[in-house]
Amino acid sequence: MPYSAFLEEADAVAASLEANVATFSNTLRNTRRRALAAARAEFHSCLADWSAQVQAQALQRSSLESAAVQARKASFRWDQRFNPLSALKGEAQEAKDAEELVKQSGMRLEIRLQGLQRDLAVLKQSLASLDLPPMLMRTGEAELLNGEVLGTVTAAIGQWSGFSFNISAIVERRCQEECSSFAQAGQLLQQRAQQLGADAVVGVRWLQCDSFQIEKEKKENGPTTYRRVQRH
């Protein structure tokens, strides 16, 4: 297949895959967890099929582009394009210019395929989270905690934010780190509970004893003071 013809077909395939990925992403956001879990196998199959298509398109693009370059070089020697006395100079230059245009189209296709690969990787990670047991924080309703206890799982996430003289930057970074640490610790708890064979993680407690927060106090007609408060 000529490289230019392949690029036209590949663009259509990429557009179709992008539409499928967008629809799939909306489905994950707007469908209840139980319904998604029921169709988990079908969803995994779709993502695997789309990933295979993207990978095949990328490999074929690279192979056909190399073949097109070699064919052009076989048709025209390198000196025929630069030698002003060569009878084939104009034709050789036109072939080179056409090749560069096709290469640009190939580069745009490669960027689209790389974007699809990243989007599919994110969707696979989101779908994999459905296999993890749901997590429930502390609750006062005893009936929600009925069941067989398989064990206790723990997770510790540590982060070092570095040093800064800007108080606002410190406060903002601390908030971001706490959100990130909580998400990582929660996922780690779910993974360890899954290894125990549990179908849920309940009674979760979040303890942050090695950090502090900055409290700002501003007095009327006075200076603004900052106070470091230990968190527990």
As a whole number, mean pLDDT of residues 139-159 equals 66
pLDDT digits 0-9 by tens, 177-193: 667 777 778 888 888 88
Of 92-101, 103-112, 143-152, where does the model show the most confidence? 103-112
CB contact at 8 A, 68 and 1: no
As a whole number, mean pLDDT of residues 10-23 equals 92
pLDDT-wise least confident of 37-41, 57-61, 115-119: 37-41
Per-residue H/E/C for the chain: CCHHHHHHHHHHHHHHHHHHHHHHHHHHHHCCHHHHHHCHHHHHHHHHHHHHHHHHHHHHHHHHHHHHHHHHHHHCCHHHHHCCCCCCHHHHHHHHHHHHHHHHHHHHHHHHHHHHHHHHHHHHHHHHHHHCCCEEECCCCHHHHCCCCCCCCCCCCCCCCCCCCCHHHHHHHHHHHHHHHHHHHHHHHHHHHHHHCCCCEEEECCCCCCCEEEEEEECCCCCEEEEEEECC
What rounded mean pLDDT belongs to the chain?
78
CB contact at 8 A, 144 and 136: yes
Distances (CA, A) of 93 to 4, 86, 96, 97: 18, 11, 5, 6
Using the predicted structure, report yes or no on whether residue 232 has a pLDDT greater than 50: no
Band (13; pLDDT cuts 50, 70, 90): very high
As a whole number, mean pLDDT of residues 100-114 equals 91
As a whole number, mean pLDDT of residues 138-166 equals 63
As a whole number, mean pLDDT of residues 78-100 equals 78
Of 3-7, 50-54, 96-100, 212-216, where does the model show the most confidence? 50-54
Instruction: List the beta bridge partners of residue 135.
Output: 201
As a whole number, mean pLDDT of residues 91-99 equals 83
For position 182, what pLDDT does the model report? 76
pLDDT-wise least confident of 122-131, 139-148, 196-205: 139-148
Distances (CA, A) of 220 to 214, 223, 225: 20, 8, 12
Looking at the chain, the whole-number percentage of residues with pLDDT higher than 90 is: 20
For position 167, what pLDDT does the model report? 64
As a whole number, mean pLDDT of residues 15-32 equals 88
C-alpha span between 6 and 28 (Å, rounded) = 32
pTM recorded for the entire structure: 0.60
**Among candidates 106, 11, 14, 122, which has minimal Cα distance to 62?**
106
